[in-house]
Structure formats: C-alpha cells, structure tokens
Amino acid sequence: MVEAECDALPSFLRVLPEFRVILCITHGCCYTRQNLSRHLLEKHRLKRRQRKGIETSSQLNNIATSSNGVVQPLDGTNEICGLPTVPGYLCHLPDCDFRSTNVNQIQKHYNQEHQWKVVHQGLMLWNEAYLQTLFKQRQRQKLFAVVLADKVHQSTNPQ
Ligand SMILES: [Zn+2]
Ligand SMILES: [Zn+2]
C-alpha cells in the first residue's frame, strides 16, 4: 500500500486546521469527523472504500470529532475561500452577539430584544459587515464578520 496515495484528499475537500474542520468547496460548508462520512455518502455518492480512505487520512488528525471541538472563527477573520460570503448586520449593543443576513430580522431583533423602536424612534445603529458561517444547518449556523480577500489584494489592481 502506498501511504501517500491513501493520505491524499480529493480536491473538493480542504482542511482548515485553525478551526479544526474540513471544508467541502463543492457545497460551501464545513464538516467534523462525525458528519463528514454521511456527507460524502449522501452528496458525493462516494463508495465505502473511498470514504474510508478520506476518513483515515492523517490530514484529518486534528479535525474535531463533533461541533463541540470546533474553533469558532472570530470577527475580523480573513475571508475563508470556499465558503459563501454574504452582506449582513451585527447588533451594536455591548454583550449582544446577534447577527443576521436579513434586514427584517435585525430590525425585529432591535424591537423585540432591546425595545428599540420606543426608546430611539426607529434609528437603529447596527453595524454592517460581510459574514460567513462554517455550517449551513440553521441550528448550527454561527455568523462571523470577515475581511474580504480582495481587500487584501487591492493594491495589485493593474488600473
Ligand atoms: Zn460536499
Ligand atoms: Zn442585540
């Protein structure tokens, strides 16, 4: 058996060691050891042998077993290439980490959680940012603000 061969990951998978997850570029979503196999079976239709090869790859050694072991990216992280990036809104109040990609949701949040409409006559001071999330599933979704990758390379613009 050639070790390098069974250690190689398919090109649609990228290990994100700092967050302890594996990113599927095809589906724009991250996985842990726990749910990667099912994803490879259901969405990529990989054979058992191919899945085993990926699961036993040493590249997955530091990937979290379940979502409890994942390192949540902080606001201000550089945009993670392969994940969708969407404009969104962050609650500006201290000790509140509510964020949403939907303007109606953030308005509702100010009204309901902070009784904002009554106190401040509707002027809402939310922050706007580009957001990403490691996981798509609604209950595991956790948005974080990113620095866009093209901002970093702006100076190389030929114009
Ligand atoms: Zn996938
Ligand atoms: Zn809030």
Residues 47 and 116 in one domain: no
Residues 147 and 89 in one domain: yes
Q: What is the Å distance from ligand 1's center to 130 Cα?
A: 23
Contact 55, 37 (CB under 8 A): yes
Of 19, 51, 69, the position where a domain reaches its end is: 69
Q: What is the Å distance from ligand 2's center to 112 Cα?
A: 9
Mean pLDDT of the chain: 89
Residues 47 and 89 in one domain: no
pLDDT at position 5: 53
Residues 54 and 103 in one domain: no
Of 45, 69, 93, the position where a domain reaches its end is: 69
pTM to 2 decimal places: 0.84
Domain count, the chain: 2
- pLDDT of 127-157, one tens digit each? 999 999 999 988 888 999 999 988 655 544 4
Q: What is the Å distance from ligand 1's center to 50 Cα?
A: 14
Q: What is the Å distance from ligand 1's center to 51 Cα?
A: 12
- pLDDT of 37-50, one tens digit each? 999 999 999 999 99
Separation in Å, CA 36 to CA 33, 44, 88: 5, 11, 28
Residues 92 and 151 in one domain: yes
Residues 46 and 82 in one domain: no
DSSP state of 9: P
Domain that includes residue 9, residue range: 3-69
Contact 106, 98 (CB under 8 A): yes
Which residues sit opposite 90 in a β-bridge?
99, 127
Higher pLDDT, 124 or 15: 15
Q: What is the Å distance from ligand 1's center to 78 Cα?
A: 22
Q: What is the Å distance from ligand 1's center to 28 Cα?
A: 7
